[in-house]
Amino acid sequence: MNTAMLVIVLLAIEAGATAIGIAVGHRSRRQPSANREPVGVVQATLLGLVGLLLAFGLSMAVGRYETRRALIVDEANDIGTTYLRAQTLNEPYRTESLESLRTYTEAAEKLSTLVPDSQRFRTVASEMESVQRTLWNLAGQAIQAAPLDSAPRLYVETLNSMIDVHSERTASLRNRVPTPVTVLLVVGSAVALAALAMYLTMLGRGLLTSLVATAVVVLILFVSFDLDRPERGFIVIPNTPLVEQSESMQAPAAFIPAGSSPDEAGP
């Protein structure tokens, strides 16, 4: 569901519930005033309950957003550390690993701009997994060629961490607020707004209060859902760490082994 459709659906549900509440309130105004007190108690209870639900839903969405944001930083840091340690490998594993890491970082940057579980997302994720296998194969060959050296072992350690954090970031993009919670937020908010509109109408209050309450609830719901929709709404996860890491890898390598020319150190 795109952003425009999401706004339309939320407005239709919440505004429709408000309209129903107003219509019922008009019909109930002819009844004795004693009947209004129980309605007031019910609507106050519903509003309090829905307020807690909205806060809970927003908290869940913010928590998932912050996790995704932190994992991008972790992935960029792990890629950077792996890239630095790859520079200490012996040839030809050094040059091949550095080139594969540049390709991997570009793919990670591209993945951060795609909608999770889309066809393009799955294609880029598959490309990254292929590069991971290539990097791991090169790391294994480097260890076999120099089993007593510390550089390949240190490199394997950060390479493994880089692969793990990528799996965590991909899983975090698919970790959405559960559907039953989402339905409860929307339906509960609609019922509370209907009760509020009915009660205010029974008291002869203006329509403006009900409309303002509806707008506020729709805004809170939209922000909660937008936070939980990676790369689909207004609130996106910044990929600046990956962009900066990719740009830094275009410069010559920081460490150039003895006997290597500057041209072999990097682009």
In this structure, what token pair is assigned to residue 29? Answer: 């105004």
How far apart CA 121 and CA 107 sit, in angstroms, is: 10
Instruction: Note the pLDDT tens digit of each residue in 33-57.
Output: 545 566 667 767 777 888 888 898 8
| Single-letter amino acid, residue 192 | A
**How do the residues of the chain divide into helix, strand and coil, expressed in percent and rounded to 5?**
80, 0, 20
Among 110, 89, 62, which residue's Cα sits nearest to residue 220?
Answer: 62
Locus of tokens 């889309």? 118
- Tell whether pTM > 0.85: no
Buried b (16+ CB within 10 A) or exposed e, 70-106: ebbebbbbbbbbbbebbbbbeeebbbbbbebbbbbbb
In this structure, what token pair is assigned to residue 215? Answer: 């707008």
How far apart CA 150 and CA 57 sit, in angstroms, is: 48
CA dihedral over 182, 236, 213, 198, signed as positive or negative? negative
Other CB atoms within 10 Å distance of the CB of residue 163: 18
Instruction: Note the pLDDT tens digit of each residue in 134-171.
Output: 999 999 999 998 888 888 999 999 999 999 999 999 99
Instruction: Note the pLDDT tens digit of each residue in 211-266.
Output: 888 899 999 999 999 988 887 888 888 899 999 999 989 888 777 776 555 544 45
**8-36 mean pLDDT:** 79
- Name the 3-class secondary structure at 48: helix
**114-134 mean pLDDT:** 92
What is the model's pLDDT at position 211? 86
What is the model's pLDDT at position 241? 92
Instruction: Note the pLDDT tens digit of each residue in 82-117.
Output: 999 999 998 889 999 999 999 999 999 999 989 888
Q: To which H or E segment does residue 78 belong?
A: helix 36-86
